[in-house]
Structure 1
Amino acid sequence: MALQGSTNIRSARRARHRVAGGALAAGLAAALALAGCSGDSSDSGDSKAAAPNQAAAGAGPAAAQDNAAEAPQAQGKDTAAKAPDLGVEKRSIIYTGSITVRVKDVNIAAAQVTGIVTGAGGFIGGDKRSSSGNTGPSDATLTLRVPADKFHSVVDQLAGLGHEEQRGINTEDVTEETVDLDARIATQQARVASGRKLLAQAKSLEDLVMLEREVATRESDLASLQAKKRRMADLTALSTITAVLLDPQTEVAPKKDEPPGFLTGLKNGWHGLLASLGVVAAILGWLLPWLLLLGLPAWAVYWYVRRNRRLQVKPADQQS
């Protein structure tokens, strides 16, 4: 009995040791599994983070150039997204006008016009005067350039110099053309800058010549656009007024538009025939002195030769 009891005690101890060893092994396995999962996740995260870096590093200068090329496009999109302010006060308008005023003295009125324009911040662009007698000019045509914001006030002041007979005002809205021109200039400037960069990186003579030609073409186009911009700015900043001053005795002949028809065509044809005859007469008058100078000696030589032939023929006839 004592031997059997000791045997049972040993078996129980062995069972406890086996259970404890199994639990310890299970715990170690679970710890290793957790460590492996955390390692895999960290490794995958590192590999995922390293992949874009390697891709970016592998792209190298090409990616940088693409980014640099996309930057202006993004800026252009942002700029295009912002529509320009096209309010009434921000619009570009070209004003042109004409006015005919009958005054007592054309010279005095012309001096007053000069004072009005100068006071408004403009200048005289042209001055043409004509006279029909010894009493001074009978009419004057002045081309005035005044700031656009003073256009209407200057026209009203000109009308106050005498009796206004005619007035005409024209406006042309060129806002869209101005905006389009600004965009084209900005684009062309970017093209010129990129062409110059490529020219600086040319490695062969052939590339250098080709790029120089391309840059010259782009610069020429840019200069043309800038010239149009300056012209447009001049027309919008300074308005043009044609002022005609007449003295009291000057008569303005009205223009009559003749309707088309047979009589109108006959009249125009007759005038054309007279003009052609005048041209022919002028040519003959120019040639007549040369004909007299060269024709008379030629006729004298011809008459002398013919006379000698007749004298030679007569003796021959008598002998026969």
Structure 2
Amino acid sequence: MKLEKKLVLVVALLFIISAAIVGGIYMFFFSKTFTFSPFSGATGEKEAAPAGMRLLPSAGVYGRKGGVVRASSTSGAPSSPSYSFPAGRKVVMDGYVRLRVGEGEVEAIAEKAAQLAVSLGGYVGEMRVKEDSAYLLLRVPYDKFNEALEELRKLGTAVEVQTSARDVTDQYVDLEARLKVLREEEQRLLQLLDRAESVKEVLEVEDYLSRIRTEIERYEAMLKNLERSIQYSSIRVYVEAPPKEPKPIIVFPKFDPLPAFATALGLLYAVIYGLIIITVGMSPLLLLGAAGYFAYTRVLKKKLQPTKKN
């Protein structure tokens, strides 16, 4: 009897395991709303992975647009291009250099860049230094522009270099023409002022003369600023240290009892579902097995009865 009880327990256990496997397989292939993970919730929906960043290769680009010639290059690019313009053209040169230096060298390299501008006959228009970066606006003579760029590239790793040449000849000529007309107008007004016979005429001429002189001063300031931009090219320099490696952050998954409880219910549901499937699917075999078992036991009892009487 003990052997029979053990056999029944083993069969029952195998039956339950088979039911769990069958139910799990069915839920996996035919249900999209079930998951066995207590950390991702009970919805079973997969989270979309973030799209990867696509890196585009950079290269030097040279072009001309609207009277401005621009050139840009990144690390490994050739040296700064030189520009050639016809004699007598007024050109404003601008440059940008981004340097990467060793850790703790930012301030020292920024000082060297400032000294370079002064040694070439220029000056420092602006300078900001931080622990891991620095920004400088250098003004160097027009004929020292290319030399300054080449020397700046030697101070560190040139990550990026940009240059632009802006032809301002037309603007310069226009300002000179306007000033010439205004000065001629000023001289005529001075002559009228000398010939004025009444106080009213004097006041009117002086009022108009004041407005003309204001315009002259405005155009003279614009012309001086333009001449200064032509004589001294601008170079913006950005110095940076290598980026620091972020410290690894260990993130533990948050345990939510509600998804875990839902997962447990899901497992129980899978077992019950599997039991139903196996029971219905194997019912003919189970009926035949039960009938055979009862027939076997009855035959066995009949064989044992004569033995007991003896």
> Normalising by structure 2, what TM-score?
0.50
> Normalising by structure 1, what TM-score?
0.48
When you count strand as a share of all residues, which structure comes out higher? 2
Task: Tell me: higher relative CO, structure 1 or 2? Use CA pairs within 8 A at least 6 residues apart.
Answer: 2
When you count helix as a share of all residues, which structure comes out higher? 1
Q: Based on CA coordinates, which of the two structures has the bigger radius of gyration?
A: 1
